[in-house]
Structure 1
Amino acid sequence: MFSDRQLDLFDHVGGAFAQPESGRLTMQELYRIAAGRAGIPMQEMNTRSPVGEKKTQRSLLQRQVRWHCQSLKAQGLLERVEDARGVWQLTEAGKQKLRKARSGVSVLAFDTKLGIAIWGDAHRVFSSWNEPIFLCLTSPPYPLRRHRAYGGPSEAEYTDFITRHVEPIVKNLVPGGNIVLSVSPNIFEEGSPARSLYLDRLTIALCDRLGLRLMDKLIWVSNQAPGPFQWASKHRMQLNTGYEYLLWFCNDPRQCIADNRRVLEPHTEKHKKFIAAGGVKKARVCSDGAHRQVLGAYSNPTEGRIMRNVIYEANTCASQRAYKKRARELGLEAHGAPMPLALARKLIRFMTEAEQLVVDPFGGSMTTGLAAESEGRRWASTELVYDYVRGGAERFTTDDDVEIHLPLTT
């Protein structure tokens, strides 16, 4: 039985061929790139299990990748390279389906009542931007120890990669505006169960280079698959990870425009009874004076309780499942690692007011745009991969004001 995270690997097999200029990959390159796109450690990709009556040791994930290659071949999108064993390449039809925007070209993919999606490079688009930005909410690609053939950053390149894409956005950020990056803590030192310090280096760089300040490391607790497999399940040196980080930065913390009153949560029935009973009945001092409770404290009714910085939200949702289904119906590759819509809506509501502009330089399946539209905020997203931005457009088709400018085949 494969987890949702492993099944998402299939979405990345075809996409892996789209990024190299040659559109040609060996199987070993394909395993590495597809695993990186899906967030699966190479140790897990290479793990072998007994298969069949003879209990032959095989990698089940690698076998699934090979099967998907055969499926793409049957669709006329992939072919074997003659005189090159184990090498596959896109057919001419395949090259038309999965590709990045050409360098220097930005195309309006679709627009809605409140936002626009651009097929093109984020740095180029936002370098010429001249409208105030209130929030940047994005989930950038994760780093790998080895450079990915499809153009994603390695761990060594990651700080410069993120800084380059965020810098033009920061220049247009209003005083007190915010940047939120959804990033993974599951990057390890090569051959070691020790976690990488890449997020610490990135945090320091964004503060030192761009003048941002770290507001918080929000913890997003999701239902992700158990891992890291190599160090937790196999060698038993680590614990399974159950969270991801949302790095939250502000350019002027004292003027921060976030307001937790926009995301108040309902009081528990127990707390409501506590308030109704008059709150604290006896003054006391706890924890060697660190906490003091005065008589009658917490007796005034409030609209709700302040949200904590630990957010519980499944990493799959009905909106994403519907998007993936629709993308496949249209013959498009679906983005394999999207943010849940409810999480994006909550963050946007917390950090902006109605009609303020929210941007996403790594638009993917356009979750930030859809969340902003749902919350009555204006938005702008960029995405390099045609299939992602065109598939994301389908999430807005229930809106009469959407206009899709990219054809399904070009």
Structure 2
Amino acid sequence: MQQADLFEPLLAAYRNVQINDEGISNAALYEALDLVGGERKPVGRARQPHNLEHRKVRWHQQTLRKLGLLERVPGQRGNWRLTPKAQEECDLTPAPEGVALVAFSTDLGVAIWTRTETLAGKLTDQISAVITSPPYPLRQARAYGNPSEAEYVDFICHSLEPLLKNLIVGGCIALNVSNDIFLSKSPARSMYVERLTLALHDRLGLHLHERAIWNNPAKPPGPTYWASIKRQQLNVGYEPVLIFCNDPVRCVADNRRVLQPHSKRHAQLLAAGGEVRTAAYGDGAYKLRPGSFGNLTAGKIPKNLISISHVSKEVEKTRKAAKDLGLPVHGALMPVKLARLLVEFLTPPGGLVLDPFGGWLSTALACEEAGYPWIALEKMAEYVAGGGIRLSGRPGFRASFDLEGWNPGDTSRN
């Protein structure tokens, strides 16, 4: 069993056995995990016999403690309990290994409750673009969990590699990742983004097509300690969007699909037939001649600095609806406006868009608005249900669950 595979069974065991805040003993935990008995083998320099499965469980307890999900019960040796943080996060139900359940569909797409690795190598459709915001390598994991910084490059590469056989020639992969991962007890930023960029090229043969910057004007100030207390950092304000292509020469991205309105001044310049003056700038690198900028164009090419707030009325409405239904709120959404710009820029008309980390289905909603077919995979049942709230008014919406009565743990309908 791999390291991450034991986290969920451990947490599930505490959720199912723990009564109030009393915690449970390791003996009760081993029984809940069906690890009673087992072979004992010599370990360490002293070669003392230990049950290796029990030893692994205790190691994971320490890891969960560092994540703020587990704590010792004061005064009770060997008793552990869930922290308030972990108890708040108990509402998320991960898809069991090997399970793929169609949660809902529309005329344009389908949302599937599954683990990315379950379906990634089994898809048969040709994909024009992969557009997603994968979990960030945060030190304090969010409710849905995330790989550590050390695991992150392998995690992303293993998630994307099976999809490459379905990606059309010239197809693109866009990853919204975080710039704000810091080394432990240091204001120095992690270089995982650079390592990820190199790994996607060296391991998977992908080429860095664009490095766009998503500027979020509503981003909360931080990092609190290094910016507000130690004053060694500026407040954060942006996140990278890394865009890769499997064949950059034949890349299907086209900025004519995302042209923006001309500014009032430029529109006046076009109407006047262009410049009337002669000038040179940048030591002659840029020259103006009479008639420059006089050709009528359909719009302005967007810059790769994209300013979009993560706050929107649609998201607030969805959060209220989720709370009313007792669903957990997703705390890290990619803005639909950002997703839509990426969908239209990177995907030819009619091309299929895949989001392997669907979350609350921002990419799917962007595809619905822009008229593109889509597939979204999401591991957490409650999040795909939240995505269902967002897309419930779309043409052809058909859900395989009742938001108020569906039991996500019942996989008998697969």
- TM bin, normalised by shorter chain, reads 0.7 to 0.9
Q: Distance in 2 between matches of 1:165 and 1:336?
A: 22
Identical-pair percentage: 42
1:271 corresponds to which residue?
266
- Aligned-partner Cα distance in 2 for 1:191–1:322: 38
Q: Deviations over 1:113-147 (max 9, x none)?
A: 01011101112212011111011110111103478
Q: Pick from 216, 220, 223 the counterpart of residue 214 of structure 2.
A: 220
Deviations along 1:321-369, whole A, 9 cap, x unmatched?
1221111111111211111111111211111233210010110001111
1:285 aligned to 251, 256, 280, which one? 280
For 2:340 and 2:369, how far apart are their aligned partners in 1? 8
1:147 and 1:336 map into 2 onto residues whose CA distance is: 12
Separation of aligned partners in 1, 2:339 and 2:223? 26
What is the deviation of 1:30?
8.0
1:337 aligned residue (326, 329, 332): 332
Counterpart of 1:204 in structure 2 is 198
When residues 133 and 268 of structure 1 are mapped into structure 2, their CA distance, relative to the original with a 3 A threshold, is same
Structure 1 residues 138-196: Cα deviation after superposition (integer angstroms, max 9, x where no partner): 01111034788965200000000001111112221101111010111001111111111
**Is residue 354 from structure 1 mapped to residue 349 from structure 2 by the alignment?**
yes
Q: Is the 8 A contact 2:172 2:251 kept in 1?
A: yes
Amino acid at match of 2:295: N
- Paired residue for 1:66? none
One-letter code aligned to 1:216: E
Distance 1:147 1:355 in 2: 37
Q: Which residue of 2 aligns with 1:318?
A: 313
Structure 1 contact 81–89 (Cα < 8 Å) conserved: no
Which of 145, 152, 161 lines up with 2:146 in the alignment?
A: 152
Residue of structure 1 equivalent to 2:232: 237
Please state how far the C-alpha of 1:110 moved relative to its aligned partner.
0.8
Write the distance in 1 (CA, Å) between the matches of 2:390 and 2:74.
37
Question: Equivalences for 1:16-31 in 2 at 5 Å?
Answer: 20-23=11-14
Query: What is the aligned length?
Result: 348
Distance 1:327-1:150 versus aligned 2 partners, 3 A rule: closer
* SS of equivalent to 2:12: coil
Q: Secondary structure at the match of 1:196?
A: coil
RMSD (Å), alpha carbons: 3.0
Q: Distance in 1 between matches of 2:124 and 2:352?
A: 12
Deviation at 1:316, TM superposition (A): 1.7
* Counterpart contact for 1:33–1:148, Cα < 8 Å: no
Hey, what's the Cα distance between the residues in 2 that align with 1:208 and 1:352?
A: 25
Q: Classify the secondary structure of the residue corresponding to 1:127.
A: coil
Is the 8 Å Cα contact of residues 137 and 149 (structure 2) preserved in structure 1? yes
Partner SS, residue 22 of structure 1: helix
SS at match of 2:180: coil
Alignment counterpart, residue 262 of structure 1, candidates 257, 261, 264: 257
For 2:164, the equivalent position in structure 1 comes to 170
Which deviates more, 279-288 or 199-208? 279-288
1:368 to 359, 363, 367: 363
Q: 1:109 to 1:82 in 2, by over 3 A?
A: farther
Larger radius of gyration: 2
Change (3 A) 1:334 1:23: farther
Q: 1:161 aligns with which of 155, 178, 190?
A: 155
Counterpart position of 2:185:
191
Question: Does structure 1 retain, via aligned residues, the 8 Å contact 2:104–2:397?
Answer: yes
Alpha-carbon distance, 1:199 to partner: 0.1
**How many Å separate the matches in 1 of 2:342 and 2:232?**
34
In structure 2, what is the equivalent of residue 111 of structure 1? 105
* TM-score normalised by length of structure 2: 0.77
Return the letter of the residue paired with 2:11: P
Distance 1:295 1:149, change over 3 A: closer
SS of residue in 2 equivalent to 1:248: strand
Gaps of 5+ in 2: 1-6, 16-22, 24-60, 408-414
What is the distance in 1 between the residues matched to 2:13 and 2:189?
Answer: 34
| Structure 1 portions without partners, runs of 5+ | 1-15, 35-79
Instruction: Name the aligned partner's letter for residue 324 of structure 1.
Output: R
C-alpha deviation, 1:234, in angstroms: 0.6
Name the SS for the 1:186 alignment partner. Answer: coil
Task: Report how far residue 290 of structure 1 moved.
Answer: 2.0
Instruction: Give the match for residue 121 of structure 1.
Output: 115
Q: Distance in 2 between matches of 1:82 and 1:324?
A: 40
Offset of 1:406 from its aligned partner? 2.8
User: More deviation in 292-301 or 130-139?
Assistant: 292-301
4+ runs deviating over 4 angstroms:
16-19, 23-26, 28-34, 80-86, 88-92, 145-151
Q: 1:304 to 1:89 in 2, by over 3 A?
A: closer
